[in-house]
Amino acid sequence: YAIYIYDDSDGVPAAPIIRDNVLSNSTYPLYIAGQYLTGERTITNNTGTGNTYAAIRIATNFYGTTTLSADNGFVWYTSADIPAGQTLVLDPDVVVKVMAGGTIEVYGTLVADTTAGNEIVFTSFEDDAYGGDSNGDGSATTPAKGDWYGIEILDGGSATLNHAVGRYGGHLYSSPGALVYVADGGSLSLTNSAVSFSENYGVYAGGAETPTITANTIDNCTDYAIYIYDDSDGVPAAPII
């Protein structure tokens, strides 16, 4: 790796400031591992060529309020979780590519709120349509439904996805098998977004009473585009669709 950051388990999150570097001819230009990462736009304007993978690899969870910027010459490559009480904010034009079989689990807060023409993308590492050939194999691999699992908003978690794009997830043998899933106790606002190429459901609300799912394009899903399941907690499902 050109730069490797490892956060130990002392309870203090890694908060590196990494800016204006040329990171070339390595496996990953930047690899962050360990327990936690935090920082608001502290990793910016890094470029480079000749790396095996044109991606910033995050193999750690987020802490505090973490904001990922779009002004690096690389996509973000992760399946990191957002723990309870923590927040991940994605800037306009950010591309997040998720490792095979990976899930973004939201126990805290995920904010991907942007405008038309500056969409925030969640997709397969093999999807060259966004962020280019991040896995560096030319046309040897192509994305497929179920390459990754999905964004899962769990009890206590919340996600705002506005003008977002989700592609090539919803792995058939994952549970629940949806590109976007919200559980009982979770909160979802999915608006003006595009969800496509799921191996199972596009959006699955499993017991969440009041998800907002409006003005979206949801297509090319093997199963239902939107599936609402009302559990037996005595509170009726009241989705806004």
Q: Is 240 exposed, middle or buried (0-12, 13-18, 19+ CB in 10 A)?
A: exposed
Q: In this predicted model, what pLDDT tens digit does every residue of 20-41 receive, in sequence order?
A: 999 999 999 999 999 999 999 9
Mean pLDDT of 141-156: 97
- Output the average pLDDT for the chain: 96
Pick the closest to residue 149 from 131, 175, 188, 111 (CA basis): 175
pLDDT band at 173 (very low <50, low <70, confident <90, very high): confident
> What local confidence, expressed as pLDDT, does residue 176 receive?
86
Q: What percent of the chain has pLDDT over 70?
A: 100
* Long-range contacts of 222-226, Cβ-Cβ distance < 8 Å, separation of 24 or more: 222/145, 222/170, 222/172, 222/198, 223/177, 223/198, 225/195, 225/201, 226/201, 226/202
Q: In this predicted model, what pLDDT tens digit does every residue of 110-122 receive, in sequence order?
A: 999 999 999 999 9
Q: What percent of the chain has pLDDT over 90?
A: 93
Q: In this predicted model, what pLDDT tens digit does every residue of 204-237 receive, in sequence order?
A: 999 999 999 999 999 999 999 999 999 988 899 9
Mean pLDDT of 160-183: 94
> What local confidence, expressed as pLDDT, does residue 178 receive?
97
DSSP code per residue over 178-236: EEEEEETT-EEEEES-EEE--SSEEEEEEB-S--EEES-EEE--SS-SEEEE--SSS--
Per the DSSP assignment, residues forming a β-bridge with 4 are 31
Distance CA 169, CA 178 (A): 7
> What local confidence, expressed as pLDDT, does residue 3 receive?
98
> What local confidence, expressed as pLDDT, does residue 83 receive?
97
Q: In this predicted model, what pLDDT tens digit does every residue of 47-73 receive, in sequence order?
A: 999 999 999 999 999 999 999 999 998
Q: Is 233 exposed, middle or buried (0-12, 13-18, 19+ CB in 10 A)?
A: exposed
Which amino acid is it at 226? I
Q: Over 90: is that where the pLDDT of 128 sits?
A: yes
